[in-house]
A and B are shown apart, each in its own frame.
Chain A
Amino acid sequence: DAGVIQSPRHEVTEMGQEVTLRCKPISGHDYLFWYRQTMMRGLELLIYFNNNVPIDDSGMPEDRFSAKMPNASFSTLKIQPSEPRDSAVYFCASSSLEDPSRTGELFFGEGSRLTVL
C-alpha cells in the first residue's frame, strides 16, 4: 500500500479564498483523522471519522472549517473563507481496529502545508 496520500503538499492562497485539502487513507482502514500542526499549539485533532461517519468534530475551530468523507477512500477538509491564522500544516491519518498488532497505531500522510496571505 502507498500509505496515506494527501494533496496538495503545499498551498498558498489569499485571505478569503476557499481551500480544499484531500486525503486518501490506507485501504481497509476504518478510522480517519484530520490534525492541524502549528508552532503555537502543536498537534491538534480537528475531527475524526469511523466508517465514513464523523464521530467527533469538537476540535474544528470554527464554522469556516468543514470535513467530509463521502466514501471509505476519500476525505476532504475545507476552509471557507480562509484567514491568515489558518496557516499551518494539516495532516490526515488513518488506522484500523483490525490492525494485527492491536496497538491503535496511526498512519500519517506527509501533510499539506497551507499558507494564507
Chain B
Amino acid sequence: GEDVEQSLFLSVREGDSSVINCTYTDSSSTYLYWYKQEPGAGLQLLTYIFSNMDMKQDQRLTVLLNKKDKHLSLRIADTQTGDSAIYFCAEGIRGSYIPTFGRGTSLIVHP
C-alpha cells in the first residue's frame, strides 16, 4: 500500500471548519508537512510539524499529530472559498530530504 494515505475529496460550506486527515507508515518520520496546490500552480509548503510535537497552530491552521496511530490532521477554521485547493500530506525522514507525498485531498468550499 501507499506510504502516505489521505482521502481524495472533502466538501465544506464557507465559514465551517475543514479537517483533512492523513495516515503515514514510517515511524522514523522527522517532519510531517502539509503542502497546498492552488489551481494551475505548483505545490507550496503550507505548514509543517516536527515529530516530537503534538500540535501546531498558525492563525486559522491547526495541525495535530498522533504518533502512536501515525495520524496527521490539518484543521482550517472559518474556511473560505480561497482555501479551495488540493492539500498534500507528506512525511520526511531525518537525514533524507526526499519527502513522501500522499495523493492529495481536493478541498471544495461552497457558499
A residues in contact (CB < 8 Å) with B: 4, 31, 33, 42-43, 45, 48, 56, 91, 93, 95, 97, 103-106, 108-111
B88 x A43 contact (CB < 8 A): yes
User: Which one of A4, A42, A106, A109 lies within 8 Å of B99 (CB-CB)?
Assistant: A106
- Which one of B38-46, B52-60, B64-72, B76-84 is at the interface? B38-46
Which residue from A4, A97, A103 sits with its C-beta under 8 Å from B42? A4
Question: Known contacts being A31-B97, A43-B101, is A105 close to B45, with CB within 8 Å?
Answer: yes
CB pair A43–B41 under 8 Å, yes or no, is no
Residue of B nearest to A33 (CB): B98
Q: Are A91 and B99 in contact, CB atoms less than 8 angstroms apart?
A: no
Contact B31 A103 (CB under 8 A): yes
Chain A nearest CB, measured from B68 CB (Å): 23
Contact between B99 and A104 (Cβ–Cβ < 8 Å)? yes
CA distance A103 to B97 in the complex (A): 8
The residues of A that contact B101 with a CB separation of less than 8 Å are 42-43, 45
Known contacts A43-B104, A48-B98; A106/B43 CB under 8 A: yes
B75 at the interface (CB under 8 A from A): no
